[in-house]
Amino acid sequence: MPNITVTVSEQTYRRARVRAAELSTSVSAVVARTLDEFAAAGTGAEARKRQFEELRARTPVVSAGRRLSREDLYRKPGTRR
């Protein structure tokens, strides 16, 4: 697994260590998880596909009712059956 060197201020590092300890994890694990999420976001197309799938999952299924025949579909308004 590759190593990455990141430079942050001493104060930021101390606060991050305390926060990570509160969450029973390490600063390294937090950074790795953040990079995983960042990389998973991918391209704009992937993000749009993910948004579409999330929206589709929340949208209720709607039925249009009875199907129209070809004649009904192309009948001009105002004409009778």
Q: Which residues of 21-47 are buried (b: 16+ CB within 10 A; e: fewer)?
A: eeeeeebeeeeeeeeeeeeeeeeeeee
10-residue stretch averages of pLDDT, the chain, 81 residues long:
91 95 94 86 77 86 77 77 60
- At 80 the pLDDT is 65
- At 20 the pLDDT is 94
Distance of alpha carbon 34 from alpha carbon 31, whole angstroms = 5
* Structure-block tokens of residue 10: 């001493």
Q: Where are the domains of the chain?
A: 1-60
